[in-house]
Amino acid sequence: MDPEKSLRATLPKITRFTPPLAVIRWGSTLAEVFPALAPGMHAQWRGATLEQLTSNRGGAPEDLAPGGIWAQVQAFGGMPRDARRLLLERLTATAPNSPPGTRYEYSNAGFSLAGHMLEETAGKPWEELITERLFKPLGMTSAGFGVPATPRSIDAPWGHRFANGSPSPVESSAAADNPPAIGPSATVHCSLPDLARYVAFHLAGHRSGTALLDRDGFLKLHTPHPDNADYAHGWSALDRPWGGGGKVLTHTGSNTLWLTTVWLAPGRDFGVIPLCNMAGSPPIPRPRRTMRRFQ
């Protein structure tokens, strides 16, 4: 499933309204949440905030390959929460790509650090936290983590690569998805009906709020920061003629084997979810072709 960044950005808003997790704030910093680790952080990382990390302004890099961080988290065999601690320690030991709060750079790692801040504050793994606080209240019973199919079984779609001129299925295994270290940005799966429930949650929230989060909270998530490539918190907010007034919201994501895009038009109370269990080359029809049918 994707866009997962929206899920990650939504969770801290809910925790602000749901005791006992009200201690987490948009302005909470890495140094405040991880005081024992702060001395080992580069000084610029210490002040990086939850808000900056969930809006791609936290200084985290797009590419984790330099320095060997990506290879290390892929090979890590411990618990997911420990994998994210490893990511935090390795990433913050050197300077961020830019001082936090100064520049947009799309980063799965930034959202993963934000997820680790939440699980550290809550005292439980991020996977449990998002299941309890978001998936269960929304009735997203199919939501889980990693590949959707059981290993050595065909009980859910498999992802595909394009190889030798045709789609090639990739058997479900841990290697067929992103590592748990970046789980808060890239390992949630769910059924299409459950993803539609999440989309409807954001449409209803933008209009009038919901029992989980008030309207101001949704507008915070949906409103871009100035000079931030139209990016808000887990959503890009764009002008489109078919939007019915106001911005439309969108995000696309892929783990190289699946591809999902979500478009929301709050002005029309409308959303659409083009997706495919193949990504990469050859290019699949662009989501905008699907959107033309609804204009």
Domains of the chain with bracketed CATH: 4-138 (3.40.710.10), 145-292 (3.40.710.10)
Average pLDDT, the chain: 89
Comparing 10-19, 75-84, 218-227, the range with the smallest average pLDDT is 10-19
Mean per-residue pLDDT for 176-185? 94
**Residue 193 to residue 247: CA distance in whole angstroms:** 24
Q: What is the pTM of this model?
A: 0.90
Binned at pLDDT 50, 70 and 90, residue 250 comes out as very high
**Residue 156 to residue 71: CA distance in whole angstroms:** 28
Residue 77 CB contacts under 8 Å (≥ 6 apart), including other chains: none
**Which DSSP symbol is given to 224?**
P
SS3 205: helix
Give the Cα-Cα-Cα angle 31, 28, 213 (nearest 5 degrees).
Answer: 155
SS3 194: helix
Residue 12 CB contacts under 8 Å (≥ 6 apart), including other chains: 24, 26, 50, 54, 114, 118
Tally of helices (H runs) and strands (E runs) in the chain: 13, 9
Work out the burial of residue 213: count CB atoms within 10 Å of its CB; fewer than 13 is exposed, 13-18 middle, 19 or more buried. Answer: buried
